[in-house]
């Protein structure tokens, strides 16, 4: 991945990817990574970390948790949970 562009190159079996796309089990090639980058930036989330090896035997994307969702984040205007309705016979 260079300069925010995803480029799909080597395939073990290109037909498998095409078959999964025909079944609507995958998206088009190189569409998800730009979407991830765009949405995370708009959300104010940290930049994702992309990892692979020279043989491209795996591709890993780490999506860091937004600081607003951390355990230590301050809760503002927390709404108490509603108690369940009482259906006791009268």
Confidence of residue 11 (pLDDT cuts 50, 70, 90): low
Burial of 56 from C-beta contacts in 10 A (0-12 / 13-18 / 19+): exposed
Residue 65 CA to residue 19 CA, distance in Å, equals: 33
What pLDDT score does 58 carry? 83
Q: State both tokens at 55.
A: 């043989």
Per-residue pLDDT tens over the stretch 39-52: 889 989 999 898 98
The pTM for the full model equals: 0.46
User: CA 31 to CA 37: how far, in whole Å?
Assistant: 11
């Amino acid at each position: 991945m260079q300069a925010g562009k995803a480029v799909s190159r080597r395939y073990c079996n290109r037909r498998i990817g095409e078959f999964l796309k025909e079944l609507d089990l995958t998206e088009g090639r190189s569409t998800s990574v730009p979407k991830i980058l765009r949405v995370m930036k708009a959300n104010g989330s940290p930049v994702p970390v992309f990892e692979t090896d020279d043989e491209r035997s795996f591709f890993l994307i780490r999506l860091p948790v937004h600081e607003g969702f951390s355990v230590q984040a301050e809760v503002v205007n927390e709404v108490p949970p509603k108690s369940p309705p009482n259906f006791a016979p009268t």
